[in-house]
Homo-oligomer: A and B are copies of this chain.
Amino acid sequence: MTDRHRPTLATVAARAAVAPSTASLAFSGSSRVAPATRERVLAAAAELGYAGPDPVARSLRSRRSGVVGAMIGERLAYAFTDPVAVQLLDGVTEVLSPLGVGLLLLPGDADRRGPTVGQLAHVPLDAAVYATCGLEDDPALAHLQRRGVPVVAVDGPRVDDVVFVGIPDRRGTADLARHLAGLGHRRVAVVAMPLRLDGTRGPVTADRRARAHYRDVRERLLGVEEVLGPVPAVEGASNSVEEGERAGRALLDVPAPDRPTAVVAQSDLMAAGVLRAAEGLGLRVPEDVSVAGFDGVELPWLAPVRLTTVVQPTTEKGRVVGRAVAELVEGRRPDDVVLDVHLSVGTTTGPAPG
């Protein structure tokens, strides 16, 4: 690799017998440069194998790096088993890619909640998206704000100077709870996504709830209770089928009189786990127990079962985030956005037994 003599704009300019400033104009496509001159510059560049202005140098002047950070709360392998996370980022890149802006993955590892300040400090960022990552008490957030990097938080808490994009989580599960109440369900339980990423699983205590990192998890729980009053909730250690199954078994593997007649899982992934738990315990859905989820993701392998769930427009949410980022990069301050959700009744909920 010939690190030796990589040409710069100055080299190209010299070869085309123009000033560097003119060469720059030629590349940026300014109309202030004569077509013939532009040709000459481009030809010189081609001869020298010049690939265009150095992005780093350009970034320094223009105060734009073309890089947006995606803060991920776990390692990729775990975060991306969640179709919601993937769809979200897909929407973001759909908007940002055509603008020549890339999404930089900043995952945490098994222990941490997210990337550390040390990792962030060396990386050029035009903006950051808290994608699957709580941000309360996050030193990384403070660091970004000091740097003046604008932040968008998806489903995150509302924080000053952070753009919020989310959904009415509470109304979503409240609608779901009303649906269940209308079917006669009185003993309803919740399978919750992690309230914090510390590997905890099991019944959710009041204390635990107070120390939750994730706004959406809290809200989805409150939505159910708004309609049905306090309900037992079991937390999974991660948002996954396995943890959903585990929590589901904990709730359902009890004598029939104590058993919930309906289980509301906070994600479709966990709902799929609850379905497996029910199957494993020989319970029919929805005759013995109703199961509902949240998100509205495609889980083709469940077919022909159709999960009752609260559908959120995940990809569109990603696009909205992408547009918000684009505006922030332009220097504007976009409004917070709350997208809509709707209940989709499938085959997994029915009248309460008995």
**Chain A residues in the interface with B (C-beta under 8 A):** 1-3, 6, 49-52, 55-60, 65-67, 69-70, 75-77, 80-81, 83, 86-87, 89-90, 93-94, 97-98, 100-107, 109, 115, 118-119, 121-125, 143, 146-148, 150, 161, 241-242, 272, 300-301, 315, 331, 333
Contacts and interface: CB of A to CB of B under 8 A. Distances in A.
A89 B105 contact: yes
A77 B87 CA distance: 6
A301 B51 CA distance: 48
Contacts of A315: 77
Contacts of A100: 118-119, 121-123
A123 B93 CA distance: 14
The 6 closest A-B pairs by CB, nearest first: A51-B146, A77-B90, A76-B90, A51-B147, A100-B122, A102-B104
A93 B66 contact: no
A275 to B, nearest CB: 10
A122 to B, nearest CB: 4
A172 to B, nearest CB: 22
Given A67-B67, A124-B67, A148-B1, A241 B300 contact: yes
A307 to B, nearest CB: 14
Contacts of A101: 122
Given A94-B75, A104-B103, A109-B94, A122 B55 contact: yes
Given A51-B147, A100-B121, 16 more contacts: A1-B150, A49-B146, A51-B146, A52-B121, A55-B125, A58-B122, A66-B122, A66-B123, A75-B93, A77-B86, A77-B90, A77-B315, A93-B105, A97-B119, A100-B118, A100-B119
Contacts of A83: 81
A81 B58 CA distance: 36
A59 B109 CA distance: 25
Nearest to A50: B146
A59 B58 contact: no
11 contacts: A50-B146, A51-B147, A55-B122, A57-B60, A67-B123, A75-B94, A76-B86, A77-B90, A89-B105, A101-B122, A102-B106
Contacts of A148: 1-3, 6
B122 A124 contact: no
A105 B107 contact: no
A102 B123 contact: yes
B56 A75 contact: no
B119 A59 contact: no
A65 B125 CA distance: 11
A109 B97 contact: yes
B104 A104 contact: yes
Contacts of A161: 1
